[in-house]
Amino acid sequence: MDRLKVLSVAAAVAVAVSMVAAGPAAAAKGGNSDNAHACHQGGSGGLVAAETGLPFKNAGDCASHGAQGNDTSGLVLSLSMTPSYSCALGPDCYGTLTGSGLMPNSTVRIFFTFDQPGPPIESDVQADSNGNLSAQLGDTCPTGGTPLVSAYATGTLAQNNTPVQTPVVDDPCFNGKGR
């Protein structure tokens, strides 16, 4: 009977170890949910297939590419109010810009359109030495003053020195009256 217990425990340990070892291998063959998620968050217009540099036809094409475990390059601009973070303007700031596959140390320009006449206001951020970017935009819903209407960003991909641009994203505080 003791021998049966030992064999059962040994078999259970062997199964657990094989599942732990197979987990990363199975995940490697599976999709990249971060890439697929970025595509569904409006990022497909600013993303390209990392291996070819070709743009996606639509968000579904982009998500399918990510779900197959492939990488994307480009820019994703979000003006989502969640999650929020603290910034110099208060505790409920929002807006992020992320990028990958960019020209190392290159400038990425963000264009902010406000509810006033005139051209967009420009702001620059830098990609790091690996061509990656993560920036908080520090947007807030104004209690007075001129509200942000929309924003978009432009940059340069490392592959073939290709320009890339995000879609124009409406600010949620402006109630969709943008552009």
Each domain of the chain, given as residue ranges in start order, spans: 1-30, 32-174
pLDDT at 179: 45
Q: What CA–CA distance (Å, rounded) separates 25 from 38?
A: 23
Encoded amino acid at 53, one letter: G
Query: Does the pLDDT value for residue 147 go beyond 80?
Result: yes
Average pLDDT of the residues in 74-85: 88
Mean pLDDT of the chain: 77
Which has more confidence, 106 or 30?
Answer: 106
Cis omega (within 30 of 0) on the bond before 83? Answer: yes
What is the percentage of the chain residues whose pLDDT exceeds 70? 73
Q: What CA–CA distance (Å, rounded) separates 118 from 115?
A: 9
Indicate the pTM of the whole model. Answer: 0.73
Of the candidate ranges 25-34, 55-64, 122-131, 143-152, the one whose mean pLDDT is the lowest: 25-34
Tell me the HSE value of 137 on the side-chain side, using a 13 A CA sphere.
28
pLDDT at 32: 61
pLDDT at 40: 65
pLDDT at 33: 66
For residue 105, the Cα-to-chain-centroid distance in whole angstroms is 19
Average pLDDT of the residues in 166-171: 91
Pairing of strands 85-87, 133-139: unpaired
Token pair for residue 7? 């064999």
pLDDT at 57: 82
The phi and psi torsions of 124 (rounded to 5 degrees) equal -110, 140
What is the percentage of the chain residues whose pLDDT exceeds 90? 34
Nearest Cα residue to 136 out of 74, 100, 84, 174: 84
